Amino acid sequence: MLSSSFAVYPAAAAAARRQQRPLRPRQPFCSQISTATLRRRLPMERLSITNALASPGIESVPAAPLNLSFPILVNSCTGKMGKAVAEAAVSAGLLLVPVSFSAIEVPDGKVEICNKEIRIHDPSESEHILLSIAKDYPDLIVVDYTVPDAVNANAEVYCKLGLPFVMGTTGGNRQLLHKTVEDANVYAVISPQMGKQVVAFLAAMEIMSKQFPGAFSGYKLEVMESHQATKLDISGTAKAVISCFQNLGVSFDLNQVKQVRDPQEQLTLVGVPEEHLSGHAFHMYHLTSPDETVSFEFQHNVCGRSIYAEGTVDAAMFLHKKIQSGADKKLYDMIDVLREGSMR
Backbone angles phi, psi at 27, to 5 degrees: -85, 145
Rounded to whole angstroms, the Cα distance separating 228 from 73 reads 25
Q: Is 156 exposed, middle or buried (0-12, 13-18, 19+ CB in 10 A)?
A: middle
Alpha-carbon gap, residue 247 to 105, rounded angstroms = 45
Q: At 336, give phi and psi (nearest 5°).
A: -60, -40
Active site residues: 227, 231
At residue 35, φ and ψ (nearest 5 deg) are -70, -5
Query: Partners of 99 in the beta sheet?
Result: 119
What is the 8-class DSSP label of residue 294? -
Do residues 120 and 101 touch, judged by C-beta distance below 8 A? Answer: yes
